[in-house]
């Protein structure tokens, strides 16, 4: 078991894992996270999007390999703590002459009760003293500033809590996607409130059709009362009662289709993409089969080049009795004079794409590990404070008596504030041997 712990606690492994996490965090910053398909296609092309999807780079922080790295780093930190505890529990009396702070005194007589004086002196300097007598050889070990050592464990525990919080949030946190049409409100799953999309705006680069940013104006409604309104942009979420609402994507949810008869009398129908509606008193039904915001034709292939409304087009199907397809055709928003006609029951009907109703797509997240992360950061601050501002100091002393006299050795060590330790060590030694 200790062989495994020794391999897992290796500082080289820690450095490698931290470098990998930093690189992945950079990737997660450069590549927009949890954006829509067309955002990636627009930025990196279809092949780039395929690679991003294959490597789960569109959701780096929830990918299986990122979670695996966090687990490995947790084992690394835990192994360090176990090993450090083992070493400290087996701490042995040192060869005192090897210490930088060291004093040796030899007396040609037996000095009585010196061990009591050493213990009393160290106690006066706020040290905790342990003494051991083995056949006339006294070994004394004293320490103070034990909160410094607690700081070490708190710091490592804080890292484990932060990593655990990340894992809990990734594995058991709640995340879903919700499309809300502008002007509409919808219930939020696993909550008692609604969110309404008041507005949606797309900003473009100057003299370009490339999207600079897109944002939604959202209002939280609880028990019929408006609680909060905020402008949500990418990486600037709305937060309410533990839920985070991120701007994820956008699109067109409904289309305005204008149907005109031969007398010029027209009706406008608001139709959901993919659904059917009845046309007046006829037994005809209209269905929006497909909508492409930026239609392009290459050979026999018809697809949308981007998600922007550069060339909006809708494929319409006209059905009899909801089932029998009579005719299908494309309508183009930017070419209003381009329309399609059908004749049914001696009535001529003309169809035109008259408008689009946008929707905003939100990513809804509730992180169940958030309080673990908060607790981890609290422990981290306490641990760092203990480690930096409370010095841990050790004093070793040995007393050996024989027929020739008495030999006294005193040594000391401190990991920080070493100048203060040198001054204190000099005072301790002077008080111990001053009158002998």
pLDDT of residue 170: 75
Strands (E), 68-127: 101-107
Lowest mean pLDDT of 13-17, 72-76, 83-87, 213-217, name the range. Answer: 83-87
Instruction: Collect all residues with Cβ–Cβ distance below 8 Å to 243 and sequence separation of at least 6.
Output: 188, 191, 364, 365, 366
Q: Dihedral of CA 344/345/350/351: which sign?
A: negative
Instruction: Collect all residues with Cβ–Cβ distance below 8 Å to 298 and sequence separation of at least 6.
Output: none
- The percentage of the chain sitting over the pLDDT mark of 90, rounded to a whole number, equals 29
pLDDT of residue 226: 93
Question: Is pLDDT at 84 greater than 80 in this prediction?
Answer: no
CA distance 32 to 51: 14
C-beta separation of 115 from 139 below 8 A: no
Judging by DSSP bridges, how do beta strands 174-181 and 347-366 pair with one another? antiparallel
Tell which wins on pLDDT, 258 or 24: 258
pLDDT of residue 257: 92
pLDDT of residue 172: 77
Which of 216, 253, 251, 214 is CA-nearest to residue 231? 216
pLDDT of residue 221: 94
Question: Is pLDDT at 381 greater than 90 in this prediction?
Answer: yes
CA distance 215 to 204: 12
Mean pLDDT along residues 345-367: 86
Residue 436: pLDDT band by 50, 70, 90 thresholds? low
pLDDT of residue 152: 86
Mean pLDDT along residues 280-299: 87
Mean pLDDT over all residues of the chain?
A: 85
CA distance 383 to 380: 5
Strand order in the sheet with 313-320: 276-278, 284-292, 313-320, 324-332
Q: What is the pTM of this model?
A: 0.55
Lowest mean pLDDT of 85-89, 179-183, 364-368, name the range. Answer: 85-89
pLDDT of residue 339: 63
Residue 256: pLDDT band by 50, 70, 90 thresholds? very high
Residues 392-401 pLDDT 10s = 999 999 988 8
Mean pLDDT along residues 253-262: 88
Question: Is pLDDT at 261 greater than 60 in this prediction?
Answer: yes
Fold (topology level) of 94-145+391-433: TATA-Binding Protein (3.30.310)
pLDDT of residue 94: 65
Mean pLDDT along residues 282-305: 88
Residues 310-334 pLDDT 10s = 899 999 998 988 888 888 899 999 8
CA distance 30 to 249: 17
Residues 168-220 pLDDT 10s = 877 777 778 888 988 899 999 888 999 999 999 888 888 877 778 889 999 99
User: Domain locations in the chain?
Assistant: 2-88, 94-145+391-433, 174-366
CA distance 32 to 428: 62
């Amino acid at each position: 078991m200790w062989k495994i712990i020794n391999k897992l606690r290796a500082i080289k492994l820690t450095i490698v894992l931290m470098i990998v996490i930093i690189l992945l965090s950079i990737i997660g910053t450069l590549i927009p996270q949890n954006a829509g398909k067309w955002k990636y296609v627009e930025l990196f092309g279809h092949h780039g999007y395929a690679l991003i999807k294959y490597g789960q780079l569109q959701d780096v922080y929830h990918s299986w390999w990122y979670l695996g790295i966090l687990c490995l780093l947790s084992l690394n930190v835990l192994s360090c703590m176990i090993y450090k505890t083992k070493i400290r529990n087996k701490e042995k009396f040192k060869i005192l002459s090897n210490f930088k702070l060291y004093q040796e005194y030899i007396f040609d007589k037996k000095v009585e009760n010196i061990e009591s004086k050493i213990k009393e002196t160290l106690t006066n300097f706020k040290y905790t003293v342990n003494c051991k007598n083995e056949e006339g050889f006294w070994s004394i070990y004293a320490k103070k500033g034990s909160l410094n050592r607690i700081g070490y464990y708190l710091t490592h525990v804080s890292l484990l809590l932060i990593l655990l919080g990340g894992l809990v949030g990734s594995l058991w946190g709640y995340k879903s996607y919700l499309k809300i049409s502008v002007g509409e409100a919808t219930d939020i799953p696993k909550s008692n409130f609604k969110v309404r999309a008041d507005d949606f705006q797309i900003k473009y680069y100057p003299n370009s059709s490339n999207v600079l940013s897109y944002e939604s104006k959202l209002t939280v409604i609880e028990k019929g009362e408006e609680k909060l309104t905020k402008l949500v942009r990418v990486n600037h979420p709305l937060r309410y009662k533990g839920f985070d609402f991120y701007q994820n994507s956008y699109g067109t949810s409904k289309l305005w289709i204008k149907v005109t008869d031969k007398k010029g009398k027209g009706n406008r129908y608001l139709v959901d993409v993919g659904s059917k509606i009845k046309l007046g008193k006829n037994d005809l039904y209209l269905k929006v089969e497909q909508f492409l915001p930026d239609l392009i034709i290459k050979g026999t292939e018809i697809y949308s080049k981007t998600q922007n409304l550069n060339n909006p087009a809708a494929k319409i199907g006209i059905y009899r009795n909801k089932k029998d397809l009579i005719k299908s055709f494309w309508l183009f928003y930017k070419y209003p004079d381009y329309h399609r006609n059908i004749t049914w029951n001696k009535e001529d009907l003309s169809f035109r794409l008259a408008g689009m109703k946008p929707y905003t797509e939100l990513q809804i997240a509730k992180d169940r590990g958030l309080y673990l992360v908060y607790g981890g950061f609290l422990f981290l601050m306490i641990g760092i404070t203990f480690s930096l501002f409370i010095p841990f100091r050790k004093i070793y002393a040995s007393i050996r008596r024989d027929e020739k006299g008495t030999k006294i050795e005193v040594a000391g060590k401190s990991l920080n504030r070493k100048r203060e330790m040198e001054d204190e060590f000099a005072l301790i030694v002077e008080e111990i041997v001053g009158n002998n």
